Amino acid sequence: MQEKGSISIHTENIFPIIKKFLYSDHEIFLRELVSNAVDATQKLKSLAQLGEFKGELGDLKVKVSVDKEARTITIADRGLGMTGEEIKKYINQIAFSGASEFVEKYKEKDAAAKDQIIGQFGLGFYSAFMVAKEVEIFSKSHKEGTEAAHWVCDGSTEFSLETTEKAERGTDVVLHVAEDSDEFLEAARLRGILNKYCKFLPIEIEFEGEVINQTAPIWTKQPSELTDEDYTKFYQELYPFSEAPLFWIHLNVDYPFNLTGILYFPKVKDELQFQRNKIQLYSRQVFITDEVKDVVPEFLMLLHGVIDSPDIPLNVSRSFLQADAAVKKINTYITKKVADKLAELYRKDRTGFEEKWSDIGLFVKYGMLSDEKFYEKAKDFALVQNVAGKFFTLSEYQEFVQANQKDKNDQTVVLYTTDSEAQHAFVQAAQERGYDVLKLDGPLDAHFIGQLEQKLEKVSFKRVDADTVGKLIEKEEQTESVLSDDDKTRLQDLYKQAISNEQMQVQVEALSPQDAPVIITLPEFMRRMKDMQRAGGGGGMQMFGSLPDSYTVSVNANHPIAQRILQAEGEAGNKLARQAFDLALLAQGMLKGEALTAFVKRSADLLAAE
């Protein structure tokens, strides 16, 4: 007997609305229908385990097939199945009322309705009408003595329902593909969708005679069941062309939320390779999205891997995460797990941790800069490295340098280089004084230095070329000048004439006779302001316009060349002063073009005159 009916709904154009606004990506119809089939199969398995279903389970595969000539796609399961009454209840009433509710909310709130949580609607089944002009259901319940049912709907609110013959329990959903959806009749297209969304579903999915999924991916297992090889093999499956990961974290929590997964630490090096979309989000082993910025803290977006949680709220199309209390708790939990793992690695194998630092240092610093709670944990295992290659924790380094590198104000001065080759002369001058120099040459180190100066008491950072070595760490005792005050003034004037550049602020200092005759420096404050401006930050620096270069030219009063310049007559003194200044420019890589040509010619003249 055939029953025809009209679904109780006030909106005749429900399907165009679902098609246009609910799902931006039509391919997910297959994810929804296969997920439904898997749910029906799992429910039957649960009933069997409870003793409420005593029949043979048999082959529980979900089978997906396509018939290009008939223009049909079929999703068949051997799960619970439905009676005619159950089809009316679950398809016509519950799912359609959910769709109706969506439409009403859509009318009221426009696009805001898309942010309703999917659990409130039974809309998954109706995603079929995005690609189908007609949908048929053939279903036979697992309950004994029930008749099979056949339901047909063409996307309007009209349906027909009748009894039919079906040999096996379960449900077949048959989609008659619309003319504008021909792409979904291609086997390669369907295989691609199944690989994307259904690769790890817990029931076997068969397509064209081949099972396309792993039903028990390693994140569903206990860490005690797994070997390192299992973890690295799974990583290669997720990222076939990537280098092996450094290490990983297995997430497994069931309170106050459910979350499983594996996060891998890739090799990052000192490049800001913020490769987004490397962490995949699943819900009960169904792939949802690789946009996980609300679930995973920003600084951990460098990680790779999988997170699976049924507790992460999604909008109706499962396309977007909803930021709520559960998501914040998960975000906090992941941050804590990562910090705990790093702390454990540091404690258990300090040497191994140091060897990995070039790969993980960038993201530890990023985490410290962006997350206060992470900073508090990471400050105990974050490392710095000096130019000799030795590693220190922050507290170890303070202890290492504080005896020798305290200035007259009892401030510990940390000296650092951003380029030990280019700044070699300054590094060497600092080391000759017995000072230690850190390598802080990474892309985040300028920000990291600023943070440490805020966090560490009575500690300041100065780049080795920010001043002459005696002024980098000012002590009470000062080097005496061999020149009188009058000679120092005359020497300063001679250099000003020779240089004739307003950006160069000339000063005469009593340095060691072994120091260079002229040293050019860019003060720490000025350089930091310029760095911040280049980075587009600077806390309002933009209002001042572009900062001009303003260098300090420190003339060494105690160098033998100072006496020669003072004793020289006329143009000879000017030439010597210019030569000493150009040597300082050359040391800084600042001598170029016409000035470099003139320096080479002048050098040849001076050599010939010797």
Domain limits, the chain: 2-209, 218-350, 382-472, 485-536+548-609
Determine whether 430 is exposed, middle or buried from the number of CB atoms within 10 Å of its CB (0-12, 13-18, 19+): buried
Predicted local confidence at residue 10, as pLDDT: 47
Specify the pLDDT at position 215: 94
Confidence label for 119 from pLDDT (cuts 50, 70 and 90): very low
Rounded-to-integer distance, Cα 428 and Cα 434, Å: 10
- Kindly calculate the radius of gyration of the chain based on its CA atoms and give it in whole angstroms: 36
Please name the helix (run of DSSP H) or strand (run of DSSP E) that holds residue 508, with its range, or none.
Answer: strand 504-509
Residue 185 has what pLDDT? Answer: 97
Residue 474 has a pLDDT of 81
Torsion, CA 58, CA 64, CA 70, CA 72, rounded to 10: 120
b/e map 480-497, b = 16+ CB within 10 Å: ebebeeebbebbbebbbe
Give the torsion sign (CA, 88, 93, 98, 104): positive
- Options 3.30.420.110, 3.40.50.620, 3.10.20.30, 1.20.120.790; CATH for 485-536+548-609 is 1.20.120.790
What is the value of pTM for the model shown?
0.78
What is the per-residue pLDDT for 266?
A: 87
Band of pLDDT at residue 610, cut at 50, 70 and 90: low
- Please state which of the four CATH numbers 3.40.50.300, 3.30.230.80, 1.25.50.10, 3.40.1440.60 is assigned to the domain occupying 218-350: 3.30.230.80
* 2-209, CATH topology level: Heat Shock Protein 90 (3.30.565)
Q: Out of 20-34, 115-129, 289-303, 434-448, which region has the weakest mean confidence (pLDDT)?
A: 115-129
Which pLDDT does position 196 carry in this prediction? 93
Comparing 411 with 293, the larger pLDDT belongs to: 411
CA-to-CA distance for 5 and 272, rounded, in angstroms?
Answer: 60
* Confidence tier at 397 by pLDDT (50, 70, 90): very high
Give the pLDDT of residue 385: 96
Which pLDDT score, from 0 to 100, does residue 359 have? 86
Location of structure tokens 């659990």: 119
More confident residue, 19 or 77: 77
Please name every residue paired with 250 in a beta bridge, in sequence order, or none if there are none. Answer: 262
DSSP state of 318: S
Question: What is each CA distance from 54 to 46, 76, 464, in whole angstroms?
Answer: 11, 22, 80
Q: Which residues define the annotated binding site for ATP?
A: 32, 36, 77, 82, 97-98, 120-125, 171, 318
Higher per-residue pLDDT: 31 or 569: 31
- Residues flagged as binding site: 32, 36, 77, 82, 97-98, 120-125, 171, 318
- In sequence order, what are the beta bridge partners of 462? 415
**What local confidence, expressed as pLDDT, does residue 277 receive?**
61
Work out whether strand 279-283 and strand 259-265 pair parallel, antiparallel, or are unpaired: unpaired
> Looking at 37-46, 134-143, 294-303, which range is the least confident one?
294-303
Q: Judge contact between 131 and 184, C-beta under 8 A.
A: yes
Q: Does domain 382-472 sit in CATH 3.40.50.11260?
A: yes
Output the average pLDDT for the chain: 84
Q: Quick one: DSSP state of residue 321?
A: B
Task: Categorize the per-residue pLDDT at 584 as very low, low, confident or very high, splitting at 50, 70 and 90.
Answer: confident
Q: What percent of the chain has pLDDT over 70?
A: 84
The region of weakest confidence among 85-99, 252-266, 312-326 is: 312-326
Higher-scoring residue by pLDDT: 276, 583: 583
**Cα 163–Cα 166–Cα 170 angle in degrees, nearest 5:** 105
